[in-house]
Amino acid sequence: MPFQTIPSGVIDVKLYKGIQDNWVQRQQYNHVAVNIPVEEAISGSSSSTEIDSQARIQYFLNPNSNKRLVVFGHTHEAKIIVSNNLQGRKCIYINSGTWIDHNPAGATMTFAVIIPQTFESTSQYVVKLYNCEDGVFNVMAEDSISI
């Protein structure tokens, strides 16, 4: 949060101050599984593609992770991305997008629905991405996975 120590003084910020100097410690503190070089993190921080890519790297391409279904909503760009993990098993990343009324980056009023897998041997998790237009809910994308 930006702050001022005296009214009308210099506006300062603690959160990112010196980020390039203490990036390694920040990653350790936040339990980042696969370290990201500081230059890559700073240059990619405003790119939804980079954030989506990091989700894949941190969860599906991380040898210490067994995650195969990841849901984010940070970038405001609704999407489902299917890929494989290091063991060649199907993985699904879903970004729920945004519920804002006007999104210059893409679809508006988007959300994700996940129907859980049951105990039946043929059952799968079903993930669906919707948007709402004029009170009508539309399926934008869907996929399924057995975990």
How confident is the model at residue 144, as a pLDDT?
Answer: 97
Inside any domain, residue 62: no
Total domains in the chain come to 1
Inside any domain, residue 11: no
Q: What pLDDT digit, counting tens, does each position of 117-139 carry?
A: 999 999 999 999 999 888 899 99
Find, among 49, 29, 137, 58, the residue nearest to 95 by Cα: 49
pTM: 0.78
If you ran DSSP here, which 8-state letter would residue 115 be given?
E
Q: Domain of 133?
A: 67-147
How confident is the model at residue 1, as a pLDDT?
Answer: 67
Q: Please report which helix (H) or strand (E) contains residue 72, including its range.
A: strand 69-72
Q: How far apart are CA 59 and CA 53, in angstroms?
A: 10
Inside any domain, residue 107: yes
Q: What pLDDT digit, counting tens, does each position of 60-84 carry?
A: 999 999 999 999 887 788 999 999 9
User: Which H, E and C letters describe 43-68, residue by residue?
Assistant: HHCCCHHHHHHHHHHHHCCCCCCCCC
